[in-house]
Amino acid sequence: MNPMEQFIVKPLIAAPLFQIGGHPIYFTNQALLMIIVTLVSAVFLTFAVKPGALVPSRIQSMAELSYEFVGNMIHSATGEDGLKFFPFVFTLFIFVLCSNFFGMVPGSFTVTSQIAVTLALACTVIFTVIVVGFAKHGIGFLKLFVPHAPLPLLFLLVPIEVISFLTRPISLSVRLFANMLAGHTLLAVFAGFVVSLGFAGGILTAVAIAPMLLIVAIMLLELLVAFLQAYVFAILTCIYLNEALHLHDHH
């Protein structure tokens, strides 16, 4: 049993869908899960708020709670004018959250355990931040890279600030990817223990219950991590947007 086997991206349909520049594009298990996540979250949220009841049902209040949760998060991190980015942050949050939770279903595939997916999401965030920054402040957005320091030092400090800024998409994506990868690998490793101990025979078969119980505990922890990482992704998006909107320097 290879614990990394669950992360293999494999085509579900043998024939490529189409070609881009000579590269065949396949319909993979990852693509399927992304479509499922998108459809389920969209359909769920649409139908949850459809009744529009004054006293919400359980499902409606779930949708309203997530709406208010993200709304409060954006408000506290970026202030009033950040609320126009609500759709962007909410979509990101729901997508990451649902991907993480769908990954917890046994036998499914964790979309966010692929660095390609998380890096693409993080690059979208940083690209938005850059576009918003230049649209709001024009060329003055570059002041973000100029700390308060004497002029000779700026030759050293500005490249450092630029590299520090360019680090953001990487640390943002690696954090989500590494957390999901580590959690799911851990689960698979302990599941492997259960199987090999269970077939070992004698007293060892009885011991197999220990890693089994541990899996239950790790599963709970992973559910927490799934939510927490979606939250961290969303709030860091808010913090970066806040910097682009208000050009706070860090000092």
Binding site for another protein (CB under 8 A): 54, 69, 72-73, 76, 156, 159-161, 163-164, 166-167, 170-171, 174-175, 178-179, 235, 250
Q: Least distance to another protein from the beta carbon of 157, Å? A: 9
Residue type, 62: M
HSE (side-chain half, CA atoms, 13 Å) at 201: 0
Residue 2 is given by DSSP the state -
Distance (Å, whole) CA 34 – CA 31: 5
Burial class (CB in 10 A: 0-12, 13-18, 19+), 212: middle
| Closer by beta carbon to another protein, 110 or else 179 | 179
| Closer by beta carbon to another protein, 26 or else 177 | 177
| Closer by beta carbon to another protein, 174 or else 207 | 174
Q: Least distance to another protein from the beta carbon of 90, Å? A: 15
Q: Least distance to another protein from the beta carbon of 206, Å? A: 32
| Closer by beta carbon to another protein, 170 or else 219 | 170
Q: Token match 């973000």: residue?
A: 144
Q: Least distance to another protein from the beta carbon of 19, Å? A: 29
| Structure tokens belonging to residue 44 | 């769920």
Q: Are 33 and 10 in contact (CB under 8 A)?
A: no
| Closer by beta carbon to another protein, 197 or else 234 | 234
Paired strand residues for 24: 19
Paired strand residues for 20: 23
Question: Nearest to residue 227, comparing CAs of 139, 98, 135, 128?
Answer: 98
Q: Token match 């979509």: residue?
A: 91
Q: Least distance to another protein from the beta carbon of 170, Å? A: 4
Find the length of the chain: 251
Q: Least distance to another protein from the beta carbon of 243, Å? A: 12
| Closer by beta carbon to another protein, 154 or else 235 | 235
